[in-house]
Amino acid sequence: MTTETMTMPETMNIAAPRPTPPVRATGPASVGSEVVRVQTVGLDFFYGKTQALFDVSLAVPEKSVTALIGPSGCGKSTFLRCLNRMNDLIPDTRVEGEVLLDGEDIYSSGMDVVALRRRIGLVFQKSNPFPKSIFENVAYGIRINGIGRRSELPERVEHALQRAALWGEVKDRLRSPALALSGGQQQRLCIARALAVEPEVLLMDEPASALDPIATQKIEELIWQLKANYTIVIVTHNMQQAARVSERTAFFMLGRLVEYDRTDKIFTNPGQRVTEDYITGRFG
């Protein structure tokens, strides 16, 4: 992996003492003076014998939006799913390296995966509301995690729906089936469902790729609002979207992190030739 070292200055930190939360990372691939929430160190990922991620080191700053871009099959979704261990569910996969949440390795043996997934929420590419009522969808995570008192449940559901900018549209029909909502509403419902368990980090896997422009705009506005309180990592195929919603952008190709920097820098003055070629649409 010698050819990669130029973009991976952080791999040199592996030998350094384990950072303790909150971490102030340094180095070109770090995030300056901001507090790092999630960080990967030399992350490799394998589907069986096929390696999908090569030595990815990336630090995600708190309360900001980090976009992952790159051509199809570049490993950005795989990377995203490593961050809350959703890849564990796929048989015959293997992770090497570290994923740190507030400095703690989430792949360490003592980690409670179920508790971890509550702290790091995931919104899927295709909205996947449960075939239950709108209310029950949002209440699901609250119930299974036993959050708060039962009497507070309606309040929490309302609060989550408000934060997902859906409350006004559904407040009169909380008991109707979630599957009756439009595609954009369903995706916002899924976001509300994820927010209801009060995660610290929100992962979004192409949350607007199946939506029309108006619904997409709503989701983007929502992301913009949410970053005041959440650390967001979003995978997107839409370069304009990455430019609009994110502060930092990571460009992946062939399972490697090619470049990671401030979004305005990536889009105006990328450091790597391939990044520029991709962003300007020369391939991908």
Contact with another protein (CB under 8 A) among 163, 193, 248, 256: 193
Give the nearest distance from C-beta 283 to another protein in angstroms: 30
Under rule CB under 8 A, residue 128 binds another protein = yes
Min dist CB 210 to another protein, Å, is: 12
- Give the shortest CB-150-to-another protein separation in angstroms: 16
d(CA 187, CA 238): 17
Distance CA 57, CA 44 (A): 10
Number of residues near another protein (by CB under 8 A): 26
Regarding 190 and contact with another protein (CB under 8 A), the answer is yes
> 137-166 mask for another protein (x: CB under 8 A)?
---xx--xx---------------------
Q: Is 232 in the site for another protein (CB under 8 A)?
A: no
Report the C-alpha gap between 58 and 220 in whole angstroms: 23
Rounded to a whole number of angstroms, the minimum distance from the CB of residue 129 to another protein is 8
Structure tokens at 211: 């939506």
Q: Which of 15, 72, 109, 131 binds another protein (CB under 8 A)?
A: 131
Residue 114 near another protein by CB under 8 A: yes
Tokens 């630090």 locate to: 59
Does 197 sit near another protein (CB under 8 A)? yes
Residue 94 CB partners (closer than 8 Å, separation 6+): 45, 46
Applying CB under 8 A, among 15, 16, 115, 228 the residue interacting with another protein is: 115
Among 37, 76, 117, 156, contact with another protein (rule: CB under 8 A):
117
Nearer to another protein, 230 or 251 (CB): 230
Q: Which is nearer to another protein, 70 or 129 (CB)?
A: 129
* Smallest separation, CB 199 to another protein (Å): 9
Q: Compute the least distance from the CB of residue 200 to another protein, in Å.
A: 13
> Among residue numbers 74 through 103, which ones bind another protein (CB under 8 A)?
84, 86, 89, 91
Binding residues (CB under 8 A) for another protein: these are: 84, 86, 89, 91, 114-115, 117-118, 121-122, 124, 126, 128-132, 140-141, 144-145, 179, 190, 193-194, 197
